[in-house]
Structure 1
Amino acid sequence: MTRAPYAADPAAHGPREFSCASGGEQRGPRTAFQRDRDRIIHSMSFRRLKAKTQVFIAPLGDHYRTRLTHSLEVAQIGRVIARALGLDEDLTEALCLAHDLGHPPFGHAGEAALSAAMERHGGFDHNAQALRTVMRIECPYPEHDGLNLTWDLLEGLAKHNGPVIAPNWALAELDEAFPLNLGSWPSLEAQVAAVADDIAYDNHDIDDGLRAGFLELDDLLSLDFLADQWRALEKRFPHAPRERLLRELVRDQIGLMVNDVLEHTAAQVKGLHSVAEVREAGRQLAGFSPAMAAQERRLKSFMYERLYYHPEQVAAAERARDVVARLFAAYAQEARLMPADWQARLPASDPARARMIADFIAGMSDRFAIQACTAIYGERPAGLINV
C-alpha cells in the first residue's frame, strides 16, 4: 500500500542518541525502523518476556498468555491497522513489541511492590522503565549504552499513553539526555501501537479468563454488545461446540474494534499532510470512535471486577508483592546477594543505589524471582501458581 503523507518515514527518521563509527548500521538491507525492531527482538529483555506475567502468575497451563505472547499479538494487530492506514508497519511493530519491556516480574503486582520500595527514591513506573531498559540497561554494543534506537521509536515508547506533562525521575533523566518532546502527541504509529495494546488485552484476557474458569459466559453476556454478538454467532453456527463459539466471539470482537479504529482514524487524519501535523494536532487521532470507546470502558470495568480483582487473583498478587518486596529488602541490606557484575556497578548511596537494585529486580522473570527469593530466604514462596 502507498505510504500515507502523515506516516513516519524511515528515510527521514529522527537521530539516534549515539553516533557510531563501526559501520554496523550497514548490516543488511534494512530501514532504520527495521533495525529498531530487530534490536528489540534480539534483546535479552524481550526474551525474558516469555516468563513474565500477563494475567496469571506462574500458570500451570501452557496455553495462557505471557508478556511475550501478548506483545506478539499486539504487534500483529498493530501491523494490520498500520498497513490499512498507510503507516510505517515496521515502526508500529517495533513499538508494539517493546511496549512492555519495562514490566517487572508478576506484572502489576510486582510494579506495586517496586513502587512502594522506591517511594523515597522517586518511585517506579513500567512505562518509564521500558525506556530505561532500551536506553541504559540493555548494553550489547561496544561503543555505547543501550540499544541506540531511533528518536521516533523512543518518543513512541515514552508517550505510550499520550503526552507526558509531569515525567517521573526515570523519564525526566532520559529526556534530559536525549530530548523526546514529551508534551506533544506522538506519531500515528505510536498511537496505533497503544490502541492495539488495548484491543489485544481486552479480548485475549477474556479468552484466558474463560479458560481458567474465572469468567463465565453468562457473566459476559450481561454486556449487551457481547450478548448481541453471541446471539448472532449462535445463528451462524447452530451446531458448533460452545468452546469454539467462545473463541469466535473473541475474534469477532477484535475485528469489530479494529474496523472501528480504521474508520474513526481515517476520518480524523483526513486532510493531514505530514507527521509534523500529527504532532501539532494537539489531540489523539488514532483510536476508537466515541461509541466504541464507551463499550471498551464498560468491558474494562467488567474485567477488573470479574477477573483482575477476582479473590484468587488478589491473593496471588499479594503473595507476588511480598516476593518482590523481600527481594528488594535483601539486596538493599546485602549487595553480595546480587550477581558479581551488578555488585561491581552498584552505586554507593541512594537514590542511585536503590534505582539500580530496582533495575535488577525489574528485569527478572517470574521464575527467576521465585528462585532468587527461595535461595535467599531458604523457603520457596507458596501459592504463586494460581490456575
Structure 2
Amino acid sequence: MNRAPYASDPAISRGREFPEDRAGTRGPRSEFQRDRDRIIHSISFRRLRHKTQVFIAPDGDHYRVRLTHSIEVAQVGRVVARALGLDEDLTEALCLAHDIGHPPFGHAGEKALDGALRNRGGFDHNAMAMRMLMRLDSPYCDHVGLNLTWELLEGLAKHNGPVAQPNWALEELDAAFPVELNSWPSLEAQVAALSDDIAYDNHDIDDGLRAGFLQLDDLLTLDFVADQWRAVEKRFPHAARDSQLRELVRGQIGLMVNDLLDHTRAQLNGVDSVNEVRAAGRPLAGFSPEFAAQERALKSFMYARLYNHPDQVATAERAREVIASLFAAYEQDPALMADGWATQVPGDEPERSRHIVDFIAGMTDRYAIDCYAAIYGRIPEGLRNV
C-alpha cells in the first residue's frame, strides 16, 4: 500500500483505552484491521440488518436497511481512500460503524428517545454509537466495550466535524478517553462522512423510485441528474427502463466520487501529516463548491419528495409512538425489560432513564415490534408503507 504522508498510520496509533497484550495471537493484522474486524463481528453491527434506513420495516427484500447501507458506504469509502493513499482499513471501519448508534425505526425512534430524555441530557445517535462500542457491546473478558483505537473513536465522534457541545454520553466517554473533540478529524473520517452522503444520496433515489415515492420526471428537474440521464439514454437506448435507472444511480455515484477526489487532491497540496489535517481548522476532503451546491439541491429535493413525503411522515409518527410507548412501559415497570437489563436498573435519575434508553436503542425494528406486542397485546399497525 502506498501510504500518503497525511494518512493515518496504524503503526503509530495513539492506542486503546485499555492496554492489551494480544500480539500475534490472532493473525498478522494492523491495529485498524483489528478495529474493522471487531466491528464486523460485533452484535451491534449484526443488529443493523433489521434497522430502518429510509423505509420502516419494508416487506420487499430489495430495500436498503442500515446494514446494507453501511456496507455500501464502506465500498465507496475504500475506493476513495485507496485513490488518496489513506488507510483503507480505518476508513472502512469508520464506514461500517457510523450508524451503529441508530435506534429502531431510524430518526423516528431517535425523536422518541430524545423526547424521553428531554430533561435528562437528550439522545443523539452519534453519541450512542460511541456508547455502544465503548461500553454496552462487551464481548471481552478483560475490559468493557470493543476497546477500539483512539483513531477510530476520534473519527466516529467527529466524522461530521468538531463537536463544540457534546451531549452527556459523549462528554462522559471523552472524559474517560479524550479524543480532542474541538479539532477536525483525520482524512479517513472525513472521507467516511462523505461516502455516507454519496451512498445515501444515490441509493435512496434507487429505493424511492422502486417504491414509487419518486418519479423520474421530477428528478430530471435537477440539471446534473438530467445530464446523467441523457448520457444513459444515449449510451443504452434500447435497455429496459429499470436497467437505465440503475445505470443512472451508478453514474451519479461515479460523478460524485470523481469530483470528491479532484477537489480533495487540490486541497491537500502541501499537507504533509495527519497532524496538519487535524490542525487545518476546516475540512480538507470535500466536493468542489459548484458540485457541493448541486449536492445540496439534491438533498433538498429528497427531503421534499421522499423523506418528508406525507406517507413517510405518517408512518414515522406511528413508529415514534411505538418507541415512546415502550419507554413509558419500562419506566413504569422496569421488570418488563429483558433479563440482565431489568436487574441492573439504577435507582436514581437520570441514570435510570438512560439505562432504559440504552436498552431500547439497541433493539432492532422487529424486536421493538415484538416487545410492544408482548406489553400491549397487539401488533402496532401501519408501520409499513412499501
Superposed CA offset, 1:265-320 (max 9, x none): 11111111111011011100011111111011000000000000111101100000
CA deviation after TM superposition for structure 1 residue 259, in Å? 0.3
In structure 1, the partner of 2:3 is 3
Letter in 1 for 2:124: D
Secondary structure of 1:250's counterpart equals helix
Residues 1-387 of structure 1 aligned to structure 2 (within 5 Å) = 1-21=1-21, 23=22, 26-387=25-386
SS at match of 2:340: helix
Query: How much does 1:24 deviate?
Result: 6.5
Runs of 4+ in structure 1 deviating by more than 4 angstroms, as ranges, are none
The one-letter code of the counterpart of 1:6 is Y
User: In 1, distance between residues paired with 2:2 and 2:51?
Assistant: 38
Between the aligned partners of 1:24 and 1:121, the Cα distance in structure 2 is 42
Question: In the alignment, is the contact (CA less than 8 A) between 1:127 and 1:160 conserved in 2?
Answer: no
Q: CA RMSD in A?
A: 0.9
Displacement after TM superposition at 1:20 (Å) = 2.9
| Code of the aligned partner of 2:74 | A
Paired with 1:196 and 1:76, the residues of 2 have a C-alpha distance of: 9
Please give the alpha-carbon distance, in whole angstroms, between the structure 2 residues aligned to 1:199 and 1:345. 41
1:25 CA displacement: 6.6
Using the size of structure 2 for normalisation, the TM-score is 0.99
C-alpha distance in structure 1 between counterparts of 2:7 and 2:304, whole Å? 38
Which amino acid in the other structure matches residue 8 of structure 2? Answer: A
Q: CA deviation at 1:48?
A: 0.4
- Amino acid of the residue matched to residue 56 of structure 2? I
2: CA distance between counterparts of 1:51 and 1:2? 37
- TM superposition shift of 1:26: 3.3
Matches of 1:269 and 1:127 in 2, distance apart?
27
Count matched residues.
Answer: 386
Report sequence identity in percent.
72
Letter of the 2:228 partner, please give it: Q
Q: Secondary structure at the match of 1:119?
A: coil
- Output the TM-score relative to the length of structure 1: 0.99
Q: Which runs of 5+ in 1 are unaligned?
A: none
What CA deviation, in whole Å up to 9, does each residue of 1:34-63 have, x standing for no partner?
A: 000000000001000000000000001000
CA distance in 1, matches of 2:352, 2:227: 55
